[in-house]
Amino acid sequence: MAEQTAAQPFAPVADRVPTRSLSIRGQERLMAGIATAILVLGLTVVLFPLFWMLSTSLKGEIEALKIPPNWIPKSFQWVNYRDALTHNPFGTYFRNTFYFAGMVVIGEVLSNSFIAYGFARLRAPGRNVLFIMVLATLMVPAEVTIIPTYVLFANLPGQWLNTYNPLIIPAWLGSAYLIFLLRQFYLGIPFEYDESARLEGASRFGIWWRIILPLSKPALGAVAIMSFIFHWNTFQGPLIYINDNAKFPVSLGLSMFRTPFGGTPQHWYMAASLAVIAPCIVVFFIAQRYFIQGIVVSGVKG
Amino acid sequence: MLSILPRPKMARNEALWFWLFISPWIVGLILFRGGPILASLALSFTEYNVADPPSPVGFENYARLLRDDIFYKSLKVSGLYTLMAVPLGIVVSLLMAMLLNQKGVPFLGVFRTLYYIPALVAGSVAVALLFQWLLNPSFGIINFLISRFVGEEGLVPLGLSGPRWFFDPNWVVPSFVLMSLWGFGGSMLIYLAGLQGVPTALYEAARIDGAGAFRRFRNVTLPMISPVILFTFITGMIGSFQIFTPAYIVSGGVGGPAYASMFYVLYLYLNAFRRYRFGFASTQAWFLFIIILILTIIALRASRSAVYYESPGDDKMI
């Protein structure tokens, strides 16, 4: 609609025919201009919360509560980060989270690629029914399985509660969403590769390990990043299984954030929060190429 | 199709490999998905606190659930939240995806990356703490901006000094909706992929027929990406009904004030892991499963006439 009103100044009635294509280009340029303006404006709104997080995290305790607020702190209190991250053992929390997320990422990359290879490239009776079951498990809310899974680990012999194993082991046994994503990707790899490798005597396992895995690095990169970011932030699972402060991941550590005087000193909260989300953002920027690829694979081909 | 001679043996061999490759998933299905689904159904007919063996109680948990006032409150909170967050999320992310798909905009790649950042951390503890701070009634920046522009001392003196957000039972759900909207980047990227799949020839044909921007959106874009909208609608609905972390963090795990943040799954969690009523909580979980299933079926049915598929009846998914 904006375009029709905008078209008029560019299209004098007298010579409508020759200017028509020009007016379309003019319209497009105008649309692009409006879109750019909205995008810039929108970006300030979208990124403002993160800016405010950073700004608050660098203020002193009194300055953080000042009204009207200082947009930029008078002097940068970098010491907030040291205080917030050492009063609670965030070093331990970070180590725990790297261990947990790392184990899950390795498991999810290997197992889902293995399973997806079967679904994408091997024929067997009943395969389609099983694949429909994979998709059906996507629809079951996690809440239905959380309690029996907890009950299972609570009753198994040995020490399972208060360890990460109940959260790591299921990740090594496939995730419906990632099986689906990787299967779509594998369907796009020419089947001639398998055929010629088989003529040279490679086993199915060898084909998966030496041909499919190297060829699917971009998709596996996408899986690794999605998996890392998801498990870095995950909260409900650790909340249920981990109850020893020394074993907390960052999400639990942040939720139990304690300060020497009680209360909620926002400058500390924001410093700790920003430190916790920083690895996600860093990983995203390093590997965003893979990330977008993953979305495109699952979004377009699916 | 393949060679003629050793076919039966080869096919059997291939089938064996197939089962070997998907065996981790089979184990996972039995131990952590299919098995628990049945176990949870069985548990819903018992009273169970992990320490003592489960004792069967028949339909008692179901009857008690239907008498439980807080259960109805939690259903209302989650339902209202879903009703607001899902449609708003679709509108915002679709609009942004269209802007990010506009030809001639400079630095499109940079814009796409930056707009996605909030989605990376959406629903996390850190974001819940951040929004608690942004929406703090007395010291939060949002209420400062409201009072500056429309508040009592503002440019537009409406006598409004900003809502009390997470502290006012009437504003709690909208505050959570606001928090969820911030993470629109995920579905935005899905829409972007969908928009890029629309053939440009269709737009050109519409343009030649004299369709303006709005009509091109209505008659080309909307039908072509309607399957994507349906997908985000259904997954968004399922996700909204399962929201937990923000509610737990903001309310300190109690669902206040006046149960206004007692989301469905928060109440389920409290029954299971705080009160050790695992049987009752399993009943809640099954009830949620049924609600989601019914809503999904309704959405699929209702969308049949509204969603356009390029090749009707094909089995693209499989």
- Of the pLDDT bands very low, low, confident and very high (cuts 50, 70, 90), residue A293 is low
Q: What ipTM was estimated for this complex? A: 0.88
Do A30 and A94 sit in the same domain of this protein? no
Contact across the interface for B282 and A148, Cβ inside 8 Å? yes
More confident position, B1 or B263: B263
Do A274 and A138 sit in the same domain of this protein? yes
Do A145 and A194 sit in the same domain of this protein? yes
- Within-domain flag for B43: no
User: Of the given ranges (A171-175, B161-165, B169-173, B277-281), which has the lowest mean pLDDT?
Assistant: B161-165
| Counted domains in chain A | 2
More confident position, B81 or A139: B81
Do A96 and A209 sit in the same domain of this protein? yes
Q: Which residue in chain A has the smallest CA separation from B41?
A: A144
Do A106 and A50 sit in the same domain of this protein? no
- Of the pLDDT bands very low, low, confident and very high (cuts 50, 70, 90), residue A9 is very low
| Residue A14 clears pLDDT 80, i.e. is over it | no
Scan for tokens 């819940």, then name that residue. B128
- Within-domain flag for A46: yes
Q: What is the mean pLDDT of residues A85-101?
A: 95
Mean pLDDT of chain B: 89
| Residue A261 clears pLDDT 70, i.e. is over it | no
Please name the member of A143, A172, A235 whose beta carbon is closest to the beta carbon of B24: A172
The percent of residues above 90 in pLDDT, for chain A, comes to 61
Do A110 and A179 sit in the same domain of this protein? yes
Contact across the interface for B213 and A43, Cβ inside 8 Å? no
- Within-domain flag for B87: yes
Q: Is B155 exposed, middle or buried (0-12, 13-18, 19+ CB in 10 A)?
A: exposed
Q: How far is B170 from chain A (nearest CA, A)?
A: 23
pLDDT score of A189: 86
More confident position, A14 or A123: A123
Contact across the interface for B124 and A277, Cβ inside 8 Å? yes
- Within-domain flag for A79: no
pLDDT score of A5: 41
- Within-domain flag for B94: yes
Q: What is the pTM of this model?
A: 0.88
- Window B:98-137, CB contacts with A under 8 Å: 99-100, 102-106, 111-118, 120-121, 123-127, 129-131, 133-134, 136
Do A45 and A154 sit in the same domain of this protein? no
| Residue B310 clears pLDDT 70, i.e. is over it | no
Instruction: A127-135: list long-range contacts, CB under 8 Å, 24+ apart.
Output: A127/B18, A128/B318, A130/B22, A131/A183, A131/B318, A132/B318, A133/B29, A134/A176, A134/A179, A134/A180, A134/B25, A135/A176, A135/A180, A135/B317
> For chains A and B, what is the number of CB pairs under 8 angstroms?
264
- Within-domain flag for B48: no
Alpha carbons A147 and B275: distance in angstroms, whole number: 13
Contact across the interface for B22 and A170, Cβ inside 8 Å? no
- Within-domain flag for B35: no
The CATH number that applies at residue A251 is 1.10.3720.10
- Within-domain flag for A64: no
Mean pLDDT of chain A: 86
Do A266 and A198 sit in the same domain of this protein? yes
Q: What is the mean pLDDT of residues A65-88?
A: 92
CA B209-B210-B213 angle, 5° bins: 120
Do A114 and A240 sit in the same domain of this protein? yes
| Counted domains in chain B | 1
Do A284 and A163 sit in the same domain of this protein? yes
Q: What is the mean pLDDT of residues B115-131?
A: 94
Contact across the interface for B133 and A39, Cβ inside 8 Å? no
- Within-domain flag for B246: yes
The CATH number that applies at residue B89 is 1.10.3720.10
| Residue A102 clears pLDDT 70, i.e. is over it | yes
| Residue A54 clears pLDDT 60, i.e. is over it | yes
Q: Three-state secondary structure along B44-65?
A: CCEECCCCCCCEECCCHHHHHH
Residue-number span of the structural domain to which A11 is assigned: 2-57
Contact across the interface for B133 and A36, Cβ inside 8 Å? no
Residue-number span of the structural domain to which B281 is assigned: 61-136+167-303
User: Of the given ranges (B79-93, B153-167, B235-249), which has the lowest mean pLDDT?
Assistant: B153-167
More confident position, A79 or A286: A79
More confident position, B103 or B66: B66
- Within-domain flag for A280: yes
Q: How far is B278 from chain A (nearest CA, A)?
A: 7
- Within-domain flag for B18: no
pLDDT, tens digit, 9 for 90 and up, residues A139-148: 788 888 999 9
Do A114 and A245 sit in the same domain of this protein? yes
- Window B:147-206, CB contacts with A under 8 Å: 148, 182, 189-190, 193-194, 196-197
- Within-domain flag for B25: no
